[in-house]
């Protein structure tokens, strides 16, 4: 199992959308009015308001209800003098001859859509967002999601792993959008075309400002850059609701219900906790122990090492109603003679001929600097290699498959003459092979799934975590985090760790976390924690994570062997039995509401469907409205009273 490498800079192809009334564009009149030219501004009417684009700088403002807000500051780059504006029906066109840029602006579904095309390879830093005086919070889908007060001293400081770090919109964020709260309303920025784009959050005069950068590149196929804005309400998840609407309107959303119709085995995910098994945890006896503890639903995975679950163990899991299968990766290759794990051994000439090579002809180093990354194009040219790999890995009867890396958004430009590809082709290849796996009837999962991968997956591991780059540094410290031994229960997964205060605050402080991912994708796939951040790995965060699991209607993830089952089995069963009926009832429903119930943001409420499930969690230490600190109330439609869980008691 690997640790994620640092995000690589990728720029923003943003779809900026604007509504006329200060609410999301859902369900509004989609009639587009013709733009008008007012000096150096293009004014695009929208209902009772307008969007205004300054052609000298690409600054964007919105005027509605008598109020004006800044949606983007001027571009950071020198654009040169703009050419004349040409109105063509509902579209406005102009150019920046000095930069070989041409611009098209129009409304679409009451959204302002601006496309910048470049005739030559170059970069553009724009839009620059958060500068309006009314901006109070920034929302970014880093993992599950964060809402950050723009003047919070901690988030403006150096200990977050956020400031100044370009976040690739394919991997640094789980979904290509962000948003700001502007007083009682907000603005959402959507990025459906994300390859070649990044978002960087900086602190300017003690305030969080975010800027997008796009790389126009002919070989990469990123010469077009589309950017939009939507004025929303003031909910901290408003930008996520807007992005969900965008996915649905453009046919890029597939529901869990539709996935279950194609593969009924996916229903076994509903109510299931997830666990990676080690040593004697992979035995039929361990499965029997889980069943006897009362664990009614489980997803069980095991590393691609020399000791997979046997056919008898898989059969025992199936008989218990569980899903069980391998964790695999098709992204790493090492010399078969010296490879340190079976998953990095490939037949034939994949090593070294199938490696990704950069523009200088150097192979891309593989996981942890070992071996190389395997080109998805090389495997596409000889699909029997991964098809045989799958047949071997599933020969024990596995009914689920976890394919590491493929959905995480780490795409490559491969300059190898025998199998050249750009990042667009890499993504297509990964989607195709994940779809191939799903079509084999497997309940398929992958790592920290970006929204682009959700249509082909049933679950993911990792998008639940609001990752800070500081965690990767900590994990490289083997004395603190633990090493990959003993083989039967590696310390890297089993050794408890107390996190530094800055990592706790940036990753686990409930005052900052918001369910952006669940707002968009809860009823599309099951979202779970990363495998190396298992429940008992972080003892100080257990209560918070248990409350979050119930609040978000998402499973917990564990690392298990027989000793852990013996020590913690009754507690795991108590948590799973509380979770199961809630997830079985609401796992196929959208998250329709999230709100803070207290000013400190420590009491939170979610709603699924049309009141199918309502959850209230108190992350604080004092009673709030009759709900004790450290407890959660969950009420299914039809329940006379809520069900209560206090994980630490």
Least confident of 86-100, 225-239, 422-436: 225-239
Angle at 616 between CA 568 and CA 649, to 5 degrees: 30
Mean pLDDT of 147-166: 95
The answer on pLDDT for 418 being more than 70 is: yes
Q: Using one digit for the tens of pLDDT, what is the confidence trace for 203-225?
A: 999 999 999 999 999 999 999 99
257-331+374-592 has the same fold as 18-249: no
Angle at 101 between CA 99 and CA 103, to 5 degrees: 145
Nearest CA-CA partner of 387 in 349, 330, 334: 330
The answer on pLDDT for 620 being more than 90 is: yes
For residue 93, what are the contacts with CB-CB under 8 A and spacing of at least 6?
85, 86, 87, 102, 103, 104, 105
pLDDT of the residue at 285: 98
The dihedrals phi and psi of 281, each to the nearest 5 degrees, come to: -70, -15
Least confident of 22-31, 222-231, 458-467, 581-590: 22-31
The answer on pLDDT for 27 being more than 70 is: no
Q: Using one digit for the tens of pLDDT, what is the confidence trace for 574-603?
A: 999 999 999 999 999 999 999 999 999 999
pLDDT of the residue at 11: 32
| Cβ atoms of residues 188 and 170 within 8 Å | no
For residue 553, what are the contacts with CB-CB under 8 A and spacing of at least 6?
518, 522, 582, 583, 586, 587, 591, 606, 608, 613, 615
Q: Using one digit for the tens of pLDDT, what is the confidence trace for 428-449?
A: 999 999 999 999 999 999 999 9
Dihedral over alpha carbons 465, 462, 174, 527 (to 10 degrees): -90
Mean pLDDT of 612-632: 98
Mean pLDDT of 104-117: 89
- Rg over alpha carbons for the chain, rounded to the nearest Å, is 25
pLDDT of the residue at 191: 83
Mean pLDDT of 404-411: 97
pLDDT of the residue at 284: 98
Q: Using one digit for the tens of pLDDT, what is the confidence trace for 296-314?
A: 999 999 998 899 999 999 9
| Cβ atoms of residues 120 and 216 within 8 Å | yes
CATH architecture under which domain 18-249 falls: Distorted Sandwich (2.70)
CATH of domain 257-331+374-592: 3.20.20.70
Nearest CA-CA partner of 145 in 506, 516, 405: 516
Count of alpha carbons within 13 Å of 22, Cβ hemisphere only?
A: 16
pLDDT of the residue at 47: 62
Ordered alpha helix ranges (H), 509-608: 516-521, 542-552, 562-586
* Domain-wise residue ranges, the chain: 18-249, 257-331+374-592, 593-645
The dihedrals phi and psi of 111, each to the nearest 5 degrees, come to: -120, 140
Only one residue has tokens 């723009």, namely 150
Res. 3 pLDDT band, cuts 50 70 90: very low
What angle in degrees, to the nearest 10, is found between the helix axes of 384-393 and 423-439?
40
Return the bridge partners of 125, or none.
213
Res. 26 pLDDT band, cuts 50 70 90: very low
Nearest CA-CA partner of 7 in 168, 142, 199, 143: 168
Count of alpha carbons within 13 Å of 173, Cβ hemisphere only?
A: 33
pLDDT of the residue at 445: 98
Count of alpha carbons within 13 Å of 482, Cβ hemisphere only?
A: 18
Q: What is the distance between the alpha carbons of residues 508 and 141, in angstroms, rounded to a whole number? A: 14
The mean predicted confidence, pLDDT, of the chain is 93
Query: Length of the chain in residues, anyone?
Result: 649
Q: How far, in Å, are 61, 80, 115, 130, 166 from residue 190 at the CA level?
A: 17, 27, 13, 15, 17
Res. 29 pLDDT band, cuts 50 70 90: very low
């Amino acid at each position: 199992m690997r640790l994620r490498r640092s995000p690589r800079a990728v720029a923003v192809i943003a779809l900026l959308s604007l509504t006329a009334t200060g609410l999301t564009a859902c369900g509004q009149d989609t009639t587009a009015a013709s733009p008008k030219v007012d000096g150096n501004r293009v004014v695009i009417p929208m209902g009772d308001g307008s969007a205004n684009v300054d052609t000298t700088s690409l600054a964007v403002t919105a005027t509605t209800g008598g109020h004006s807000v800044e949606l983007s500051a001027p571009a950071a780059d020198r654009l040169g003098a703009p050419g004349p504006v040409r109105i063509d029906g509902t579209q406005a066109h102009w150019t920046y001859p000095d930069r070989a840029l041409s611009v098209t602006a129009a409304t679409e579904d009451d959204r302002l859509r601006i496309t910048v095309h470049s005739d030559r390879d170059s970069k553009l830093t724009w839009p620059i967002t958060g500068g309006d005086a009314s901006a109070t919070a920034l929302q970014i889908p880093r993992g599950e999601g964060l809402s950050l007060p723009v003047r919070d001293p901690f988030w403006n400081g150096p200990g977050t792993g956020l400031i100044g770090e370009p976040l690739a919109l394919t991997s640094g964020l789980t979904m290509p959008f962000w948003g700001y709260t502007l007083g009682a309303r907000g603005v959402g920025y959507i990025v459906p075309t994300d390859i070649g784009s990044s978002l960087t959050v900086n602190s300017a005069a003690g305030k969080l400002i975010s800027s997008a950068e796009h790389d126009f590149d002919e070989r990469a196929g990123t010469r077009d850059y589309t950017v939009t804005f939507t004025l929303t309400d003031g909910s901290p998840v408003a930008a996520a609701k807007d992005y969900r609407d965008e996915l649905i309107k453009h046919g890029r959303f597939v529901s869990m219900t539709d996935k279950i119709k194609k593969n009924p085995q996916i229903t076994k995910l509903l109510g299931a906790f997830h666990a990676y098994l080690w040593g004697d945890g992979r035995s039929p006896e361990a499965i029997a122990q889980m069943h006897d503890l009362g664990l009614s639903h489980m997803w069980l995975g095991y590393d691609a090492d020399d000791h997979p679950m046997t056919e008898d163990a898989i059969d025992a899991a199936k008989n218990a109603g569980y899903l069980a299968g391998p964790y695999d990766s098709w992204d790493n290759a090492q010399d078969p003679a010296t490879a340190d794990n079976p998953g990095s051994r490939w037949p034939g000439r994949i090593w070294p001929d199938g490696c990704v090579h950069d523009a200088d002809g150097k192979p891309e180093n593989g996981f942890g600097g070992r071996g190389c990354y395997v080109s998805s194009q090389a495997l596409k040219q000889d699909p029997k290699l991964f098809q045989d790999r799958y047949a071997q890995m599933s020969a024990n009867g596995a009914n689920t498959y976890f394919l590491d890396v493929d959905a995480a958004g780490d795409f490559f430009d491969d300059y190898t003459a025998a199998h050249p590809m750009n990042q667009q082709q890499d993504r297509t290849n990964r989607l195709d092979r994940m779809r191939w796996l799903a079509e084999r009837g497997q309940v398929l999962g992958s790592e920290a799934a970006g929204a682009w991968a959700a249509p082909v997956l049933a679950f993911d591991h990792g998008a639940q975590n609001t990752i800070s780059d500081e965690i990767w540094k900590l994990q490289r410290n083997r004395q603190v985090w633990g090493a990959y031994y003993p083989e039967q229960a590696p310390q890297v997964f089993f050794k408890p760790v107390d996190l530094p205060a800055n990592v706790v605050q940036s990753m686990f402080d409930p005052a900052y976390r918001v369910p952006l991912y669940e707002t968009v994708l809860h009823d599309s796939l099951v979202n779970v924690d990363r495998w190396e951040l298992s429940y008992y790995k972080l003892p100080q965060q257990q209560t918070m994570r248990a409350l979050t699991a119930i609040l978000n209607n998402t499973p917990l993830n564990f690392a298990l062997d027989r000793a852990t089952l013996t020590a913690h089995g009754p507690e795991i069963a108590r948590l799973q039995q509380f979770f199961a009926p809630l997830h079985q009832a609401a796992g196929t429903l959208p998250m329709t509401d999230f709100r803070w119930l207290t000013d400190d943001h420590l009491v939170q409420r979610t709603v699924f469907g049309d009141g199918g499930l309502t959850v209230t969690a108190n992350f604080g230490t004092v009673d709030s409205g009759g709900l004790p600190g450290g407890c959660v109330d969950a009420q299914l439609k039809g329940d006379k009273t809520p069900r209560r869980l206090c994980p630490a008691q």
